[in-house]
Structure 1
Amino acid sequence: MTTQLTLTALPGIPLVEPGDDLPTIILDAYARADLTPADSDVLVVAQKVVSKAENRYAHLGNIEPSAAALELAERSRTDPRLSELILRESREVLRQRPGVIIVEHQLGYVHANAGIDRSNIVSDDDQDPRVLLLPADPDASARRLRDSLRERCAVELAIIINDSAGRAWRNGVIGFAIGCAGIEPLRDMIGQPDMFGRGLERTQIAVADELAAAGSLLMGQASEATPVVLARGVRFRTSEVGSTPLLRARHEDLFR
């Protein structure tokens, strides 16, 4: 039996603005690709378009840095207003060096600069630049998108919202899931036999992260403008648990 996974960057996604209807934008992109939504489709959607549609913008000109933000900005050599936003979006600052602040985000994952980004964002005022925050609840965003597409198309599909992050033990950024709906994000293989009948002892597969990373290969990191990737041929289990199972418990995290 041949196993095959296909990845398609849905074409013609426009620049997303606050209030835009992402389900309609995605369905139009399906049509441009001469495709129709089908059961077991997995859509990997870039965090940035979700945040833009949800108007998760902040204007640095409106931010008053606290004493803690001023201190952090001095240590990290960042804009004090940005440091203030990072603190507001975070549970804890874990590390910092010039140009980057590593935090535990309010949503639970470890991320540089709390996921706050300026790239591929239109800002008309250099003195009051806009930055983009992560969605307030990426799992809820994924559910809303999945539910709307399911209602319009009568298909059972899954949504993964991805972002890019570095890792403590490797160079380079990689896509990872910050929200999902309709898919079991973490497959527990503990106890399953290997090829020689030995039971697996520690193996858990981060299915949502692997698909998020695959989608990132087509999305790119700069001017590619392909923020929605369709994955077909994925073997996955349906679930409504969201992305929480992917978060490692603090007492098991050897890097903190």
Structure 2
Amino acid sequence: MSLEVIPVRIEKQQGGFDLYQDIMNSLDGVVSLEDGDILVISSKYTANSQNRILDIKKIKSSEKSQSISERFQIDAKTAEIVLRESDKIFGGVAGFVLTSSDNILAPNAGIDKSNVRKGSVILYPDLPYLMAEQLRRKIFLNLGIHVGIIIVDSRLMPARIGTTGVAIACAGLEPVHDMRGQKDLDGNTLKVTLKATADNLATIANHKMGEGSESTPVAVIKKSGVKLTDRKIRTDEMAISYDQCVYVRGFQSKN
């Protein structure tokens, strides 16, 4: 059984549309959804359907965002958006504020100036886990099939060049495979290994979906072999608390 990834081209729309209907229209004649498929959807495409696009000129900066602007050398209005979208600010460098947004460690709270009109930014989707679950249920009710849903974004990996994929939300599949207690090739018991299933699939799909002008914000993964589920996925299942994160703890430790 070989895993297959089918990217789906979708005509670009600007702000506020029916995500389910747009996806179904684009799949028609290209690929048929079947039981066990994983539908991977760009976070920016999802956010666009919610009209999560801001005109930077209309943003009013606060005293706190002015301070962030000066500290990290970013525009004060952009700093205000970062401040609003962040759960926590860890620090940063010139041009980038390192933040947590929806349990995702990301520069500038995941806001993006690409694939939107000049002078605008697009944010992370609002309530992405709810969006994914609603989409999963709608597909089951209308088509009678069980699929997994992953909402994917690009991310930078520590000390690595380039971007990879990250699942900012999912529904219908078990996002993490706990391998603790199993044996490795030499018979050693695995003590800490948990496989990031949703993130791995997000990266595979992201490779096919592209980062530029491809206009393929959706991909269908077939024959993934992952475990599907009807239970509602919690928002904290793919995240680890920052006081347990090796990178965060390491960077914050004092020499």
Matched, 1:94 2:86: no
Contact 2:74–2:94 (Cα < 8 Å) also in 1: yes
Q: Share of identical aligned residues, percent?
A: 30
Matched, 1:56 2:46: no
Measure, in 2, the Cα distance between the counterparts of 1:179 and 1:252. Answer: 21
Matched, 1:232 2:229: no
Amino acid at match of 1:19: G
Contact 1:181–1:242 (Cα < 8 Å) also in 2: no
Q: Which residue of 1 aligns with 2:252?
A: none
Q: Which residue of 2 aligns with 1:7?
A: 5
Q: Which portions of structure 1, spanning 4 or more consecutive aligned residues, are displaced by more than 6 angstroms?
A: none
Q: Which residue of 1 aligns with 2:20?
A: 23
Measure, in 2, the Cα distance between the counterparts of 1:45 and 1:81. Answer: 29
Q: Which residue of 1 aligns with 2:194?
A: 204
Contact 2:34–2:145 (Cα < 8 Å) also in 1: yes
Q: CA deviation at 1:64?
A: 1.4
Q: Which residue of 2 aligns with 1:42?
A: 38
Measure, in 1, the Cα distance between the counterparts of 2:214 and 2:235. Answer: 26
- Cα 1:242/1:6, change in 2 over 3 Å: farther
Amino acid at match of 1:116: I
Measure, in 2, the Cα distance between the counterparts of 1:32 and 1:218. Answer: 19
Describe the SS at the equivalent of 2:106.
strand
Measure, in 2, the Cα distance between the counterparts of 1:90 and 1:149. Answer: 32
Q: Which moves more between the two structures, 240-249 or 163-172?
A: 240-249
Q: Which residue of 2 aligns with 1:251?
A: 243
Contact 2:72–2:96 (Cα < 8 Å) also in 1: yes
Question: TM-score, normalising length from structure 1?
Answer: 0.91
Amino acid at match of 1:54: Q
Q: CA deviation at 1:137?
A: 1.1
Q: Which moves more between the two structures, 42-51 or 195-204?
A: 195-204
Matched, 1:112 2:107: yes
Amino acid at match of 2:15: P
For structure 1, the 5+ residue unaligned runs are 124-128
Q: CA deviation at 1:40?
A: 0.4
Describe the SS at the equivalent of 1:246.
coil
Q: Which residue of 2 aligns with 1:178?
A: 168
Measure, in 1, the Cα distance between the counterparts of 2:3 and 2:235. Answer: 22
Q: CA deviation at 1:236?
A: 1.4
Q: CA deviation at 1:196?
A: 4.2
Q: Which residue of 2 aligns with 1:221?
A: 211
Describe the SS at the equivalent of 2:204.
helix
Amino acid at match of 1:118: K
Describe the SS at the equivalent of 1:142.
helix
2:73 to 43, 53, 77: 77
Contact 1:146–1:158 (Cα < 8 Å) also in 2: yes
For structure 2, the 5+ residue unaligned runs are 249-255
- Root-mean-square deviation (CA), in Å? 1.5
**Which digits, 9 at most, give the CA deviation of each residue in 1:13-43, with x for residues without a partner?**
111333322222222222231x321000101
Measure, in 2, the Cα distance between the counterparts of 1:170 and 1:99. Answer: 18
Amino acid at match of 2:242: R
Measure, in 2, the Cα distance between the counterparts of 1:210 and 1:151. Answer: 28
Describe the SS at the equivalent of 1:32.
coil
Amino acid at match of 1:8: I
Measure, in 1, the Cα distance between the counterparts of 2:72 and 2:209. Answer: 30
Amino acid at match of 1:85: I
Measure, in 2, the Cα distance between the counterparts of 1:132 and 1:66. Answer: 20
Describe the SS at the equivalent of 2:14.
coil
Describe the SS at the equivalent of 1:252.
coil
Measure, in 1, the Cα distance between the counterparts of 2:124 and 2:148. Answer: 20
